Amino acid sequence: MTSGHGKRLLTSAVALPLLALVILKGGRIGFAILVGLAAAVGLLEYHALFLPRETPGAKATGLILGLAVIGSFCTKDIGATSAMLVAAFLGSAAVCLVRFKPGDSMAVVLYRQVMGFVYVPFLLGHLILVRDWNRGIIWAFFLLAVVFAGDTAAYYVGKAFGRHKLSPNISPGKTVEGALGGFAANLFVGLLFKTWWLPELPWGFCVGLVVMLGVMGQIGDLVESMLKRSVDSKDSGGILPGHGGVLDRVDGLLFAAPTLYYLKTYLL
């Protein structure tokens, strides 16, 4: 086993039980705090990648506004979340006004700041909404298990059997074989949850839901790879040995969590 695989397995062996413990015993507040911490680290990684010359004051303002977006999800009021996104935009615009100098491309800076709020805390905050459902603990485990199983299977199947590149311009290491292995793991884990813990789900809806989660998880992975490649970076950070940064670990969840929330809320 290579050192990279060893680090990856060791990090998972430590992090996954802690995550499960917070979901089971931390209550809605403990889980929201965990999501807030992940969003804070992810937002700092995002700013380091795409706003490297940001001043400490601008970085602190962005972090506070990002955490406020996460906090708005705890109210379970979409109006409050919308209000915080508006506040985040207005706050970013005000910071850009203070920093503006002739010749600066502040439109690009403002775009990247606002995109950061949507990409990290807003998308990730849907995990809080899922956890707050009736039987939300089961649904949170369902989402995490489906996405992480697909991500892990895609990685190892691609390493072992990958021959055909999935998207060489975005991520040369990802293969069609790995993607298919990921979808197989998505379906296996999702249908296992349906059989044991979510028997009330119609089979057709469950299969469609798992497929959509698998697709959106892989799209989220590719989008993060595209963003990193645009700034010539391999990892978003190094806080998780063997995995990279927080964004490298939750990239699939960023797209899958809202997908689960809205599909179940409006279709089931």
How much is the pLDDT for 215? 97
Distance CA 13, CA 169 (A): 33
Distance CA 85, CA 89 (A): 6
Tell me the pLDDT tens digit for each residue of 143-157.
Answer: 999 999 999 999 999
Burial 221-254 (b: 16+ CB within 10 A, else e): bbbbbebbeeeebeebbebbeebbbbbbbbbbbb
How much is the pLDDT for 11? 81
Share of the chain above pLDDT 70, in %: 98
How much is the pLDDT for 2? 54
Which residues of the chain are under the pLDDT cut of 50? Answer: 1
User: H or E element: which one contains 203?
Assistant: helix 203-230
- Here the tokens at position 156 are 């190892």
How much is the pLDDT for 4? 63
Q: What is the pTM of this model?
A: 0.94
Burial of 110 from C-beta contacts in 10 A (0-12 / 13-18 / 19+): middle
Q: Which of 199, 24, 52 is nearest to 191 (CA)?
A: 199
Q: Which of 152, 173, 149, 153 is nearest to 222 (CA)?
A: 173
With beta carbons less than 8 A apart as the criterion, state whether 88 and 69 touch. Answer: yes
Q: Which of 80, 117, 120, 73 is nearest to 95 (CA)?
A: 117
Tell me the pLDDT tens digit for each residue of 117-147.
Answer: 999 999 999 999 999 999 999 999 999 999 9
How much is the pLDDT for 3? 59
With beta carbons less than 8 A apart as the criterion, state whether 154 and 225 touch. Answer: no
With beta carbons less than 8 A apart as the criterion, state whether 181 and 153 touch. Answer: yes
Q: How many CB atoms lie within 10 A of CB 51?
A: 17
Distance CA 175, CA 158 (A): 6
Long-range contacts of 84-87 (CB under 8 A, 24+ apart): 85/117, 85/118, 85/122
Q: Which of 249, 8, 27 is nearest to 124 (CA)?
A: 249
- Expressed in percent and rounded to 5, the helix, strand and coil fractions of the chain are 80, 5, 20
Beta bridge partners of 244: 240
Q: How many CA atoms lie within 13 A of 254 on its CB side?
A: 24
